[in-house]
Amino acid sequence: MTKPKEPDPFEQGLALFNAGRFFECHEVWEALWKRASGADRLFYQGLIQAAVAILHAERGNLRGAASTYAKARAKLDALSGEYMGIAIDGFRDALARFFAQALAGAGELPPRPKICRGK
């Protein structure tokens, strides 16, 4: 009898993020971030900060959203193309569009960004 495969925490975090469950994905990725080093550590931290920035925006904390998004952007800007199977450039663009609208404070938030796979 084979043992069931444990879910991959990175994949689990991606699914949670794309489902709009930003707090939960942050929790899953934090465990990975704590064990990571180098560029992987910055990548996870950027993803976590992006999720937290969206949470701040959803809760109406635009100052916290802007500050946390700036931190996420600084980490994600260091990467380009594809990283760990993720289309980083597209994700950065989606975040930029979301926060440009969200931080303008023009009422309802735009659709939340999604994380897409690279080619």
Residue ranges covered by each domain of the chain: 9-102
Res 2 pLDDT > 80: no
* CA proximity to 51, closest of 93, 104, 14, 89: 14
Res 5 pLDDT > 90: no
Superfamily of domain 9-102: TTHA0068-like (1.10.3450.10)
pLDDT tens digits for range 56-110: 999 999 999 999 999 999 999 998 889 999 999 999 999 999 999 999 977 789 9
